[in-house]
Amino acid sequence: MSSGHLAQQVAFQRSELNLILGLYGRMVAAGEWRDYGISCLKDAAVFSVFRRTAETPLYMIEKRPRLRHRQGMYSVIGMDGQILKRGHDLKTVLRVLERKLIRAVE
């Protein structure tokens, strides 16, 4: 992998952001989430979700390409740092948050 040193940071692709922002929009509409932040780091891209602007994130959706061949590069991490779901398919990993949306709407 000679191009490894060219990639300064990991970022979400447009298709990944579309999935995440679709869920984000539904959660905002349900009154569950209010703000988000995106961090592009050397080894991970992180989408953090907040209930209020100046607090710790409720959830972090991470993309870590280095874990691609192991547990999967996508994970959803809770406020306490616990990994709620990890896998190879972003849509499948986001389902752990979709279930919370269904409960919030009911």
Q: Is residue 2 part of a domain?
A: no
Q: Is residue 18 part of a domain?
A: yes
pLDDT at 43 over 80: yes
Over the stretch 3-28, which tens digit does the pLDDT of each residue have? 445 558 899 999 999 999 999 999 99
Q: Is residue 105 part of a domain?
A: no
d(CA 91, CA 78) in angstroms, rounded, equals: 17
Count the domains in the chain: 1
Q: Is residue 1 part of a domain?
A: no
Q: Is residue 106 part of a domain?
A: no
Q: Does the CA dihedral 58-66-12-75 come out positive or negative?
A: negative
d(CA 36, CA 59) in angstroms, rounded, equals: 10
Q: Is residue 103 part of a domain?
A: no
Q: Predicted confidence band at 104 (pLDDT cuts at 50, 70, 90)? A: low
The range of the structural domain enclosing residue 74 comes to 7-98
Q: Is residue 40 part of a domain?
A: yes
